[in-house]
Amino acid sequence: MKQTKVIIISGFLGAGKTSLMVSAADQLRAKGWKVACITNDQGEQLVDTKIVYSNGFPIQQVQGGCFCCKFDNLVDTINHIVNHNETDVIFAEAVGSCTDIMATVNKPLEAFHGELLDIQPLTVVVDPQRFRDIKKENSIYTTEIAYLFEKQIEEAQYLLLNKADVNEKMEIEEIKNQLDNIIPFAKIFPTSAVNAMGVNEWLDNIFDSNDLNATVLDIDYDVYAKAEEQLGWLNSSISVSGLQIDVLEFANELLNKWLEKLEQRGAVVAHLKIWVEDENRHLKLSSVRNNEIYPLNDIKHGIWLSDKVDIWINARINIDYQMLKIILEEIKLEYKTLDIIVNQLDNFAPSRPVPTHRFV
């Protein structure tokens, strides 16, 4: 019986996992492979799912918890894809605040479903700037969040130093040398989702790999749980109507308002994403650190005017989670000439991770 390859992608919030997954899926699709994707989140209204869907790939999502805690849901989702699509490869992107993937996801999938699924080595994606920010003295990140970040790296079999297109080559090499000392058995590749740099090299290697070291973490779940608790979570879908607006200008202004209000409250941005769409176009803007905006995709040339848009906001911020709802309401009140309706809202701090299985 034909096995379906499954590639689990891990890594901290804002590392560029979704963009890299889409880039890899594009590369395989161009070679005639049938590819599907699974996204994962603690809540609903996931921007990542919108991104994958807009690129034309079959997409399912596991929501309400990490793959490790929703293992049975993950298996059901994989089975659904296999049963309803001709699929060679499934990419499954784990929540960015999750770790211990090897023991709680990869190994159980291999043990229980190895006849049908070919589980590929665990890939961890790292943002080089985040690595520098966390490792430097007087880091703005808490010791618990730094611990979570480091544990994600420790279990990597393949590690992708992403966003290589916006980092100096010498800096990438310097970080690679540091990582070689931390994870000497892992294979490390600089990559970029923007220009597909390193993506084919990673895929060629991962499909040809044999007997890579599979590290089961020595992890303190109390510290891990504290790190998750420190990340406020907000997923919201809103509708904006009334006056005709310049959508690109509005989206940039909206994201800047969020960043300003978070800065005023001393919050640390892990990932802030905004997806905007009407019946003709869509756009994603994001920030992975304070006072920085990174556009994922360009809209068509010219001004984008619309009198009704739907917006999804995903915020993962080191702040009391209830403050995120307050910020949303504050911003809503600032647009007095527009009709803004909050259609759905998830606002919480992730609960303690309790894996369904853990293989050591």
* Residues 35 and 174 occupy one common structural domain: yes
Of 227, 261, 293, which residue sits at a domain end?
A: 227
CATH number of the domain that 11 lies in?
A: 3.40.50.300
Q: What is the pLDDT of residues 68-104, one digit of tens each?
A: 999 999 999 999 999 998 999 999 999 999 999 999 9
* Residues 100 and 10 occupy one common structural domain: yes
* Residues 138 and 45 occupy one common structural domain: yes
Of 187, 211, 227, which residue sits at a domain end?
A: 227
Instruction: Flag whether 358 is in a domain.
Output: no
How far apart are alpha carbons 319 and 345 in whole angstroms?
17
Of 227, 255, 279, which residue sits at a domain end?
A: 227
* Residues 215 and 95 occupy one common structural domain: yes
Check residue 178 and give its pLDDT: 96
Residue with tokens 């603690």: 42
Average pLDDT of span 260-277: 96
Domain count, the chain: 2
* Residues 69 and 162 occupy one common structural domain: yes
Are 18 and 323 in contact by the 8 Å Cβ rule? The answer is no
How far apart are alpha carbons 298 and 103 in whole angstroms?
39
Check residue 296 and give its pLDDT: 46
Average pLDDT of span 279-283: 92
> Between residues 214 and 68, which one has the greater pLDDT?
68
* Residues 13 and 107 occupy one common structural domain: yes
Percentage of the chain exceeding pLDDT 90: 90
State the first-to-last Cα distance of the chain, in angstroms, to the nearest integer: 29
pLDDT at 353 over 80: yes
Instruction: Flag whether 356 is in a domain.
Output: no
pLDDT at 340 over 60: yes
CATH number of the domain that 276 lies in?
A: 3.30.70
Average pLDDT of span 236-250: 95
Average pLDDT of span 255-267: 96
* Burial call 174-196: b when 16+ CB within 10 Å, e when fewer: ebeeebeeebeebbbbbbbbbee
Instruction: Flag whether 70 is in a domain.
Output: yes
pLDDT at 297 over 60: no
DSSP code at position 166? G
Average pLDDT of span 282-289: 93
Which residues have CB under 8 Å from 160's CB, separation 6+? 11, 20, 123, 124, 125, 126, 188, 189, 190, 191, 198, 202
Which residues have CB under 8 Å from 103's CB, separation 6+? 216, 217, 355, 358, 359, 360
Check residue 303 and give its pLDDT: 86
- pLDDT band of residue 235 (cuts 50, 70, 90) is very high
Name all contacts of 332-337 with Cβ < 8 Å and 24+ positions apart.
332/238, 334/257, 335/240, 337/242, 337/243
How far apart are alpha carbons 26 and 29 in whole angstroms?
5
